[in-house]
Amino acid sequence: MLKDANIFVLAITAIFVENFVLVKFMGICPFLGVSKKTETAFGMGMAVIFVMTISSLATYLVYKYLLVTLGLEYLKTIAFILIIAAIVQLVEMFLQKITPALYSALGIYLPLITTNCAVLGAAILNIDNGFNLLQSVLFGCFSAVGFTLAIVLFAGVRERLETSDIPEFLQGTPIALVSAGLVAMAFLGFSGLSF
Amino acid sequence: MNKFKIFTAGLIEQNPVLFQLLGMCATLAVTTTVVNGIGMGLSTTAVLVMSNLLISLLRKIVPQKIRIASYIVIIAGFVTIVDMVLKAYVPSVSNSLGIFIPLIVVNCIILARAEMFASKNGVFPSVLDGLGMGLGFTIALVIISAVREILGNGTFLGISLFGANYEPVIMAVMPPGAFIILGVVIAVVNVIAKGGKRNA
What whole-number distance in Å separates Cα of residue B177 and Cα of residue B137? 20
Per the prediction, chain B carries an average pLDDT of: 88
Name which of B84, B103, B186 is nearest A121 (Cβ-Cβ): B103
Shortest CA gap A168–chain B (Å): 9
**B200 has a pLDDT exceeding 70:** no
For residues B165-185, give the mean pLDDT. 88
For residues B65-86, give the mean pLDDT. 91
Chain B residues whose beta carbon lies within 8 Å of the beta carbon of residue A81: 72, 76, 105-106
For residues B163-187, give the mean pLDDT. 87
**B41 has a pLDDT exceeding 90:** yes
| Chain A from 64 to 103: CB within 8 A of any B CB | 74-78, 81-82, 85
Backbone angles phi, psi at A56, to 5 degrees: -60, -45
Q: Which residue has the higher pLDDT, A1 or B50?
A: B50
For residues B12-25, give the mean pLDDT. 84
pLDDT of residue B13: 81
Backbone angles phi, psi at B156, to 5 degrees: -130, 120
Tell whether A133 is within 8 A of chain B (Cβ): no
The answer to whether B144 and B126 have CB atoms below 8 angstroms apart is no
Q: Which residues of chain A have pLDDT under 50?
A: none
Name which of A120, A173, A178 is nearest B180 (Cβ-Cβ): A178
pLDDT of residue B1: 59
Of B133, B147, B158, B157, the closest CA to residue B41 belongs to B133
Cβ–Cβ below 8 Å for B103 and A78: no
What whole-number distance in Å separates Cα of residue A96 and Cα of residue B38? 44
pLDDT of residue A58: 94
| Chain B from 68 to 87: CB within 8 A of any A CB | 69, 72-73, 76-77, 79-80, 83-84
Over residues A103-150, the pLDDT tens digits come to: 777 666 777 787 788 899 999 999 998 889 999 999 999 999 999 999
The span from the first CA to the last CA of chain A, in angstroms, equals 9
List beta partners, residue A191: none
What whole-number distance in Å separates Cα of residue A142 and Cα of residue A19? 10
Looking at residue A129, what DSSP letter applies?
T
Q: Output Rg (C-alpha) for chain B, integer angstroms.
A: 18
Tell whether B99 is within 8 A of chain A (Cβ): yes
**B199 has a pLDDT exceeding 60:** no
Q: Which residue has the higher pLDDT, B156 or B46?
A: B46
pLDDT of residue A195: 57
pLDDT of residue B84: 93
Packing angle of the helix pair A173-188, B175-199 (nearest 10 deg): 170
**B160 has a pLDDT exceeding 90:** no
For residues B83-92, give the mean pLDDT. 93
Name which of A77, A115, A188 is nearest B108 (Cβ-Cβ): A115
Tell whether A29 is within 8 A of chain B (Cβ): yes
Shortest CA gap A7–chain B (Å): 24
pLDDT of residue B197: 65
